[in-house]
Amino acid sequence: MNKVNVLGVNFDNKTLNQFQNEFIGRLNEHKSTFIVTANPEIVMSANENPEFMKILTSDADYITADGIGVVKAAKMLKTPLPERVTGYDLFTWLMKVANERNLRVYLIGAKPAVIHAVQEKIARDYPEIQLVGAEDGYFKDDLDLVALRIERTQPDLVFAALGSPRQEKLLAILRKNLLPAVMMGVGGSFDVFSGVVKRAPKFYQEAHLEWFYRLVKNPWRFKRMLVLPKFVNDVRKSRKEQK
């Protein structure tokens, strides 16, 4: 089975390694490529927002399981996915590829101080990257205008860290215009990459309590986490409907 359907979202049934090989192939061929890394929150949000669901169904070229919740759901539905493939891991890997190949990269998203720190990090650690654009995610322009601005720089790679579904809306415009780049929404990745937001200490990571650490640090995340029990419940319901 090529695709695994979890509550209407078609995930690609591929390992990290398989994804990487395909992305390299498409980079070589300059094929317009739109990658979505979807976690349970994104699946739930698409179920409530038809416009977002349509982007995932019609515009995205690849959808990876960004989160153990999606991997577990696929298993419950008896159509397992091989592994979790996170946006952050793909992002850091693609940046490494960009540095090795001297590629043109456009970054958009996060707070001004964060994107500034990201620029500094790239100059220091990824000196071969041609950074053709780096702008924060708090612009007022409409997305069509932003898309035009990005297209003019002829990037090989575009990363948007605007939160969902806004980042996917922007990338869907570029994909429809057939921008010959590999494009991916990366959520909070710039915050972590810049070092402005720290990952949880090892203890929390090893105890699978990273979510708890983040919750204590950012109590506003509580409301977002409330969709998780509903996600599990809806997957259970959809399993019953399968029978």
Q: Phi and psi of 77, rounded to 5°?
A: -85, 5
DSSP secondary-structure letter at 95? H
**Candidate list 31, 104, 111, 149; residue touching ligand UDP; CB under 6 A:** 111
Can you tell me which of 11, 159, 190, 193 binds ligand UDP, judged by CB under 6 A? 190
Residue reference for tokens 């780096």 = 134
User: Which of residues 98, 106, 187, 227 is near ligand UDP by CB under 6 A?
Assistant: 187
Residue (103 or 107) nearer to ligand UDP, CB = 107
Q: Is 194 in the site for ligand UDP (CB under 6 A)?
A: no
Q: Which residue, 33 or 164, has its beta carbon nearer to ligand UDP?
A: 164
- Closest CB to ligand UDP among 81 and 161? 161
Tell me how far apart the alpha carbons of residues 146 and 127 are, in angstroms, rounded to a whole number.
26
R_g over Cα of the chain: 18
Contact assessment for residue 163 and residue 136, using Cβ atoms and an 8 Å cutoff: no
Q: Does 191 bind ligand UDP (CB under 6 A)?
A: yes
Q: Among candidates 195, 196, 171, 187, which has minimal Cα distance to 221?
A: 187
- Number of residues engaging ligand UDP in binding (CB under 6 A): 13
CB-nearer residue toward ligand UDP: 31 or 149: 149
Site string for ligand UDP, 126-155 (x = CB under 6 A): -----------xx-----------------
Which residue number, 113 or 178, has a Cβ lying nearer to ligand UDP?
113
Q: How far is the CB of 211 from ligand UDP (least distance, A)?
A: 11
Residue 80, preceding peptide bond in cis (omega within 30° of 0): no
Closest distance to ligand UDP from the beta carbon of 186 (Å): 7
For residue 160, list its beta bridge partners: 108, 185
Lateral strand order in the sheet of 104-109: 62-65, 33-38, 182-185, 157-161, 104-109, 130-135
* String marking each residue 91-110 x if it binds ligand UDP according to CB under 6 A: ------------------xx
The token pair that represents 223 in the structure block: 């409301």
Helix (H, G, I), strand (E, B) or coil at 185: strand
- Which region holds residue 67: left if phi is over 0, alpha if psi is between -120 and 50, else beta? left
Rounded least distance, CB 26 to ligand UDP, Å: 23
Any contact of residue 168 with ligand UDP (CB under 6 A)?
A: no
The distance from CA 221 to its chain's CA centroid, rounded to whole angstroms, is 18
Among 68, 82, 188, 214, binds ligand UDP (CB under 6 A): 188
Of 93 and 139, the one with the shorter C-beta distance to ligand UDP is 139
Q: List residues binding ligand UDP (CB under 6 A).
A: 109-111, 137-138, 161-164, 187-188, 190-191
